[in-house]
Chains A and B, each alone.
Chain A
Amino acid sequence: MFLWFHKFGSPPHFYRIAGKWIPWLSSIFLVLLVAGLYGGLIEAPPDYQQGESYRIIFVHVPAAWMSLFIYVVMAFCGAIVIIWHMKLAEVVLISSASIGASFTFLALVTGSLWGKPMWGTYWVWDARLTSELILLFLYLGVIALHNAVEDKRTAARATSILAIVGVVNIPIIHYSVEWWNTLHQGPTVTKFDAPSIDVRMLIPLLLMAIAFKLFYAVVVLMRARCEILQRERNTQWVREVAGES
Chain B
Amino acid sequence: MSQRLSLSQAFLFLLRRDLLLAVRNRAEYAMPLLFFVLVITLFPLALGALPELLARIAPGIIWVAALLAAMLSLDSIFRSDFDDGSLEQILLSAHPVAVLVLAKVSAHWLVTGLPLLLVAPLLAEMLGMPSEAQPTLLLTIMIGTPILSLIGAIGVALTVGLRKGGIILSLLVLPLYVPVLIFAASATENAAMGFEVSAQIYMLLAFLFLSISLSPWATAAALRMSAS
Residues on A facing B (Cβ under 8 Å): 82, 134, 137-138, 140-141, 144-145, 148-149, 154, 157-158, 161-162, 164-166, 168-169, 172-173, 176-177, 179-180, 183
| Max count, chain B CB within 10 A of own CB: residue among A134, A165, A180 | A165
Given A161-B154, A162-B158, A164-B218, A177-B178 contact (CB < 8 Å) = yes
Interface status of B162 (Cβ within 8 A of chain A): yes
Contact of A179 among B154, B162, B182, B214 (CB under 8 A): B182
Q: List the B residue with the shortest CB-CB distance to A181.
A: B182
Residue pair A173, B175 in contact (C-beta under 8 Å): yes
Query: How many inter-chain contacts with C-beta < 8 Å in the A-B complex?
Result: 68
User: Which residues of B have CB within 8 Å of A183?
Assistant: 186
Which residues of B194-228 are within 8 A (CB) of A? 203, 207, 214, 218, 221-222, 225-226, 228
User: Which residues of B have CB within 8 Å of A168?
Assistant: 214
A-B residue pairs in contact (CB < 8 Å), sample of 19: A134-B175, A138-B175, A140-B171, A141-B172, A144-B172, A145-B172, A148-B168, A158-B158, A158-B226, A161-B154, A161-B158, A162-B172, A164-B218, A169-B175, A169-B179, A172-B179, A173-B178, A176-B178, A176-B179
Bound-state CA distance A145–B161 (Å) is 11
Q: List the A residue with the shortest CB-CB distance to B158.
A: A158
Residue pair A141, B182 in contact (C-beta under 8 Å): no
Interface status of B164 (Cβ within 8 A of chain A): yes
Interface status of B115 (Cβ within 8 A of chain A): no
Residue pair A158, B222 in contact (C-beta under 8 Å): yes
Residue pair B186, A180 in contact (C-beta under 8 Å): yes
Interface status of B176 (Cβ within 8 A of chain A): yes
Q: How far is the CB of A142 from chain B (nearest CB, A)?
A: 9
Bound-state CA distance A137–B178 (Å) is 12
Bound-state CA distance A134–B178 (Å) is 9
The SS class assigned to the B binding surface is: helix
Q: List the A residue with the shortest CB-CB distance to B162.
A: A148
Bound-state CA distance A202–B35 (Å) is 53
| Max count, chain B CB within 10 A of own CB: residue among A137, A148, A168 | A148
Residue pair A154, B225 in contact (C-beta under 8 Å): yes
Q: How far is the CB of A185 from chain B (nearest CB, A)?
A: 13
Q: How far is the CB of A183 from chain B (nearest CB, A)?
A: 6
Given A145-B168, A157-B225, A161-B225, A180-B175 contact (CB < 8 Å) = no
User: Which residues of A have CB within 8 Å of B178?
Assistant: 134, 173, 176-177
User: Which residues of A have CB within 8 Å of B226?
Assistant: 158
Bound-state CA distance A172–B226 (Å) is 27
Q: How far is the CB of A244 from chain B (nearest CB, A)?
A: 36
Residue pair B164, A148 in contact (C-beta under 8 Å): yes
Q: How far is the CB of B106 from chain A (nearest CB, A)?
A: 20
Bound-state CA distance A180–B63 (Å) is 15
User: Which residues of B have CB within 8 Å of A141?
Assistant: 168, 171-172, 175
Bound-state CA distance A157–B220 (Å) is 13
Q: How far is the CB of B17 from chain A (nearest CB, A)?
A: 26
Bound-state CA distance A138–B168 (Å) is 11
Q: How far is the CB of A47 from chain B (nearest CB, A)?
A: 33
Interface status of B159 (Cβ within 8 A of chain A): yes
Residue pair A161, B182 in contact (C-beta under 8 Å): no
Bound-state CA distance A100–B173 (Å) is 19
Q: How far is the CB of A135 from chain B (nearest CB, A)?
A: 8
Bound-state CA distance A164–B162 (Å) is 20
| Max count, chain A CB within 10 A of own CB: residue among B168, B178, B203 | B178
Residue pair A145, B218 in contact (C-beta under 8 Å): no
Q: How far is the CB of A104 from chain B (nearest CB, A)?
A: 12
Interface status of B44 (Cβ within 8 A of chain A): no
Name 12 extra pairs, CB < 8 A, besides A161-B222, A168-B214, A172-B179: A140-B171, A141-B172, A145-B158, A148-B165, A154-B225, A161-B154, A161-B221, A169-B179, A173-B179, A176-B178, A176-B179, A177-B178
Contact of A148 among B159, B175, B203, B228 (CB under 8 A): B159
Q: How far is the CB of A98 from chain B (nearest CB, A)?
A: 15
